[in-house]
């Protein structure tokens, strides 16, 4: 079945069919042509794929992020980021990266960050004379920090497949997330220095930093509350996601910027995002079942072992496979398809499944701003009004720094608390 379903899935992607429908169509045709299983297995897999209580956390975390981003708190975070790095060369590019790092603890979604922040920061950079491709590149690369720093929706999905603790994954994502952010800041600085981008001559003052921090504190506290509750064993991820929604509502009510229309809009937006994620989860589960039935993961492990590769080369192979997959498939189905294959490979070289999870999410995050399917690349280019290839060229320094971070995550397990 895999021999039929996988090539057909890639063909449907080339034909520009939405990923969820391509997965469902290819899997269904593969099952029918095999003649070994009834088509009703598709409905059964749909049902089984959504029975994990952990998945209930996804809509609530998405809604909490929508509520906080939609309010005035977003402007407060951008203002605070400007105070922190406004004097560095290429200041607005630096502001974009720092804002993404701060928003990462709120949204957990790269797409949400790319659209919400890009709609504000990209036009701002263009008005200040920054090249449009540069503005789009910074936004598309920095917005993926949201899927690494907790709360991360992709890490929740990986946890549901691997049965690894969500709290352990969230904790493990903090250091790589901040390293990725620092690498993005370095890339912006080098580009700005080479292009002689403007810098502010305003002297540093401690007072505005403190005031900006206090104004942004409600958003900055959310990841602290989430991690504290998870690590302390106070509540489950699903319970914490509900608490996050109530926290976001209380913050918005305290700021007095929550209207019935705005609340309804946030709920509808979160519902649409959740529906898209669940469709991908259900459709991916069918193709994942096909690969498991055909013993693809165990056959791949046997093949790698037969080659006699060292652990270093096995990890390199895993990274290449995940990078290619992330460049052509959306993150959610990529995790659900890759995890059953990568977990046996990781176990064969005694790699921690926590390290594998961060490595997988980072690989797929790079895919989000890589052609031909890069979601944040398309969103940012559209907002900036530039062609995809222009943004891709401006992204080259970010690719280099991102790959360096990937090598660090892949070969230095000491950066993980559980490593």
Task: Report residues of the chain scoring pLDDT below 50.
Answer: 418-419
Check if the beta carbon of residue 370 is closer than 8 Å to that of residue 117. Answer: no
Residue 219's pLDDT is 77
**Cα-Cα-Cα-Cα dihedral sign, residues 7, 347, 310, 177:** positive
- Spans of all domains in the chain: 53-415
Q: Tell me the pTM.
A: 0.87
What residues contact 197, with CB distance under 8 A and at least 6 apart?
A: 89, 90, 93, 130, 191
pLDDT tens digits, one per residue of 92-151: 888 889 888 888 777 767 887 888 888 888 998 888 888 999 999 999 999 999 889 888
80 alpha-carbon distance from chain centroid:
23
- The three-class DSSP label of residue 151 is coil
172-205 per-position pLDDT tens digit: 999 999 999 999 999 999 998 888 876 666 666 7
User: Omega before 113 cis (within 30°)?
Assistant: no
Q: Residue 419 has what pLDDT?
A: 45
pLDDT of residue 202: 64
**Greatest distance between any 2 Cα atoms in the chain:** 73
Residue 159 buriedness (CB in 10 A; 0-12 / 13-18 / 19+): buried
């Amino acid at each position: 079945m895999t021999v039929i379903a996988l090539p057909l899935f890639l063909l449907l992607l080339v034909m520009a069919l939405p990923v969820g429908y391509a997965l469902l169509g290819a899997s269904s045709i593969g099952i029918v042509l095999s003649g070994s299983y009834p088509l009703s297995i598709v409905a059964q897999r749909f049902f089984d794929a959504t029975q994990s209580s952990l998945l209930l956390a996804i809509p609530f975390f998405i809604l909490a992020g929508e509520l906080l981003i939609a309010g005035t708190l977003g402007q407060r975070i951008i203002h605070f980021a400007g105070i922190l790095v406004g004097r560095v060369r290429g200041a607005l590019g630096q502001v974009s990266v720092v804002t993404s790092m701060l928003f990462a603890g709120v949204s957990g979604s790269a797409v949400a960050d790319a659209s919400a922040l890009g709609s504000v920061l990209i036009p701002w950079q263009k008005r200040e004379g920054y090249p449009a491709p540069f503005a789009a590149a910074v936004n598309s690369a920095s917005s993926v920090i949201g899927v690494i720093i907790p709360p991360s929706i992709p890490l929740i999905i990986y946890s549901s497949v691997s049965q690894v603790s969500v709290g352990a994954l969230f904790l493990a994502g903090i250091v790589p997330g901040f390293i990725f952010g620092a690498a993005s800041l370095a890339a912006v600085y080098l580009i700005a220095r080479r292009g002689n981008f403007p810098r502010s001559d305003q002297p540093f003052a401690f007072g505005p930093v403190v005031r900006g921090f206090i104004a942004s504190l409600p958003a900055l506290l959310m990841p602290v509350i989430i991690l504290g509750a998870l690590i302390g064993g106070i509540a489950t991820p699903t319970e914490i996601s509900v608490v996050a929604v109530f926290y976001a509502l209380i913050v918005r009510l305290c700021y007095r910027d929550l209207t019935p229309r705005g609340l309804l809009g946030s709920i509808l937006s979160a519902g649409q995002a959740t529906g898209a994620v669940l469709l991908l989860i259900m459709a991916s589960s069918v193709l994942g079942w096909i690969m498991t039935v055909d013993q693809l993961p165990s056959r791949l492990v046997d093949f790698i072992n037969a080659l006699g590769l060292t652990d270093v080369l096995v990890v390199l192979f895993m990274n290449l496979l995940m990078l290619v997959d992330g460049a052509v498939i959306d993150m959610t189905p990529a995790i659900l398809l890759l995890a059953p294959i990568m977990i046996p490979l990781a176990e064969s070289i005694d790699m921690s499944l926590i390290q594998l999870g961060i490595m997988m999410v980072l690989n797929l995050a790079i895919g989000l701003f890589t052609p031909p399917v890069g979601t944040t690349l398309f969103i940012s280019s559209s907002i900036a009004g530039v062609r995809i290839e222009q943004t891709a060229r401006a992204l080259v320094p970010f690719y280099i720094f991102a790959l360096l971070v990937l090598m660090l995550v892949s070969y230095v397990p000491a950066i993980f608390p559980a490593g």
